[in-house]
């Protein structure tokens, strides 16, 4: 295989992208195989943009990204066709936006500012050639929302589509906000949407394409990237993005911090349209809000006397550990199944 930097890859891919030579300009061939390796690389790199943080981008063995803080925050995720997305539900552009968003949200949830993305891509030779280029458009556009840039990656042929994104970020002279800093007496607050992706998934699973806002929330989540650094600057004690479901992700905070967290259901927002979807499909919409996942809202804990950043809302409190589960709802265990587990959940999300 050959990496996007123009060298033969024999192991993990170097970062950075080279605009390699390929087929003569003109009509793009119909499949990835017809386009060829170098043609695909050229098509992908031609779509890239840059930012001031990118000191050396396409054209060398590796990219160079500024790290003013001298610490780099890094995160990576993988999307597999059939497990994390379906081509009959989502366009390549949608998949690109989603793949970038879930990684950028991880960076923001540490209190860092995203700076760069790296793409690892596996595609079949018979895949239409416009699919990976539209994927790159989606990744690039989502990166731009967070003021980041795609700076490199690797591409290889395989039997099915896999998209791996690595995101980098800068702390800007702040300490990272981890999952382990919550203390009894802290308030729990959230910003962003909860349950929208799960409601959209329920709609798509039944063959419908509306209400569109919920379907789009599933296809292209919109994390509040600015909220993580803002929360870090105002004293958040623990933080994470809601990728596996609110209860599951608060459970990660509670376990790491050795505390219990109680969520107040009355403070959770259930829009009227979500309630209508729930009634139509026979699901309590509160289940989606508490366990749905993939909205990539950001949830954090704050000292009780700390003013919250704009657009954050209090949904619970941190308590001393007890015999109850790590996370309770209105003081009681939430006994309904939910939350995303990559090794036990068999269906596309």
Over pLDDT 70: what percentage of the chain?
88
Whether 75 has a binding-site annotation, put simply, is yes
94 annotated ligand-binding residue: no
Q: Please state the rounded mean pLDDT for residues 11-38.
A: 54
154 is in an annotated binding site: yes
Percent of the chain at pLDDT above 90? 81
Domain boundaries, the chain: 32-170, 187-333
Average pLDDT over residues 159-182: 97
Looking at residue 258, its pLDDT comes to: 98
- 222 is annotated as contributing to ligand binding: no
* Mean pLDDT confidence for 319-327: 95
More confident residue, 58 or 274: 274
* Predicted local distance difference test score (pLDDT) of residue 2: 38
Residue 207: pLDDT band (50, 70, 90) is very high
88 known member of a binding site: no
What is the pLDDT, as a whole number, of residue 344?
52
Q: Is 340 annotated as a binding residue?
A: yes
Q: What's the predicted TM-score (pTM) here?
A: 0.87
pLDDT number for residue 345: 54
The domains spanning 32-170 and 187-333 adopt the same CATH topology: no
Quick one: pLDDT band at residue 37, thresholds 50, 70, 90? confident
pLDDT given at position 59: 72
pLDDT of 28 reads 58
Tell me which of 14-18, 23-27, 266-270 is least confident: 14-18
Quote the pLDDT of residue 17.
Answer: 30
At 335 the pLDDT is 81
- The mean predicted confidence, pLDDT, of the chain is 89
Secondary structure of the chain as H, E, C letters: CEECCCCECCCCCCCCCCCCCCCCCCCCCCEHHHHCHHHHHHHHHCCCCCCCCEEECCCCCCCEECCCCCCEEEEEEEEEECCCECCCCCCHHHHHHHHHHHHHHHHHHCCCEEEEEEEEEEECCCCECHHHHHHHHHHHHHHHHCCCEEEEEEEEECCCCEEEEEEEEECCCCCCCCCCCCCCCCEEEEECCCCHHHHHHHHHHCCCCCCHHHHHHHHCCCCCCCHHHHHHHCCCCEEEECCCCHHHHHHHHHHHHCCEEEECHHHCCCCHHHHHHHHHHCCCHHHHHHHCCCCCCEEEEECCCCCCCCCCEEEEEEECCCCCCCEEECCEECCCCCCCCCCCCCCCC
What class, spelled out in words, does domain 187-333 have in CATH?
Answer: alpha beta
Mean pLDDT along residues 164-170: 98
Band of residue 18 on the pLDDT scale cut at 50, 70, 90: very low
- Rounded to whole angstroms, what are the CA distances from 81 to 109, 164, 178, 207, 345? 26, 12, 31, 19, 14
243 is in an annotated binding site: yes
Per-residue pLDDT, 217:
97
CATH 3.30.1330.10 is the classification of domain 32-170: yes
pLDDT at 290 > cutoff 80: yes
The response to whether 241 counts as a known ligand-binding position is yes
Helix axis angle, 212-219 to 196-205, nearest 10°: 100
Task: Read off the pLDDT of each residue in 44-66 and give the average, rounded to a whole number.
Answer: 89
Q: What is the mean pLDDT of residues 210-237?
A: 97
Does residue 294 have a known ligand-binding role?
A: yes
The answer to whether 335 is a known ligand-binding residue is no
Q: Which of 19-23, 166-170, 210-214 has the lowest mean pLDDT?
A: 19-23
Using one digit for the tens of pLDDT, what is the confidence trace for 230-282? 999 999 999 999 999 999 999 999 999 999 999 999 999 999 999 999 999 99
Cβ(268)–Cβ(295) below 8 Å: no
What are the pLDDT digits (tens) for 94-148? Answer: 999 999 999 999 999 999 999 999 999 999 999 999 999 999 999 999 999 999 9
255 by Cβ neighbours in 10 Å (0-12 / 13-18 / 19+) ranks as middle
**Among 114-118, 188-192, 213-217, 335-339, the least confident range:** 335-339
């Amino acid at each position: 295989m050959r990496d996007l930097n123009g060298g033969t890859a024999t192991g993990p891919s170097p970062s950075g992208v080279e605009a390699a030579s390929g087929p003569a300009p003109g009509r793009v061939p119909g499949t990835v195989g017809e386009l060829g390796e170098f043609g695909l690389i050229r098509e992908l790199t031609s779509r890239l943009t840059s930012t001031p943080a990118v000191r050396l981008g396409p054209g060398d063995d590796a990219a160079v990204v500024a790290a003013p803080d001298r610490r780099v925050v890094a995160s990576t995720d993988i999307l597999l066709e059939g497990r994390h997305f379906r081509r009959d539900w989502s366009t390549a552009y949608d998949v690109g936006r989603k793949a970038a968003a879930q990684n950028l949200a991880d960076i923001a949830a540490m209190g860092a500012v995203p700076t760069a993305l790296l793409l690892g891509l596996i595609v079949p030779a018979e895949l239409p050639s416009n699919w990976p280029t539209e994927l790159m458009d989606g990744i690039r556009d989502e990166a731009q929302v967070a003021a980041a840039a795609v700076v490199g990656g690797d591409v290889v042929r395989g039997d099915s589509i896999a998209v791996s994104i690595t995101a980098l970020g800068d702390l800007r002279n702040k300490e990272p906000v981890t999952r382990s800093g919550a203390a009894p007496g802290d308030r729990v607050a959230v910003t962003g949407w909860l349950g929208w992706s799960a409601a959209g998934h329920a709609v798509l699973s039944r063959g419908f394409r509306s209400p569109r806002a919920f379907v789009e929330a599933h296809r292209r989540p919109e994390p509040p990237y600015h909220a993580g650094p803002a929360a870090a600057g105002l004293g958040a004690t623990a933080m994470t993005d809601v990728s596996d479901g609110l209860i599951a992700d608060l459970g990660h905070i509670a376990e790491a911090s050795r505390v219990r967290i109680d969520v107040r259901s009355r403070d959770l927002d259930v829009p009227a349209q979500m309630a209508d979807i729930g009634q139509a499909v026979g699901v309590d919409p509160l289940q989606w809000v508490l366990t749905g996942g993939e909205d990539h809202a950001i949830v954090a804990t704050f000292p009780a006397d700390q003013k919250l950043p704009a657009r954050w809302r209090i949904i619970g409190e941190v308590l001393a550990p007890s015999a109850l589960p790590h996370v309770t709802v209105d003081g009681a265990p939430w006994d309904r199944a939910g939350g995303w587990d990559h090794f036990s959940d068999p269906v596309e999300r």
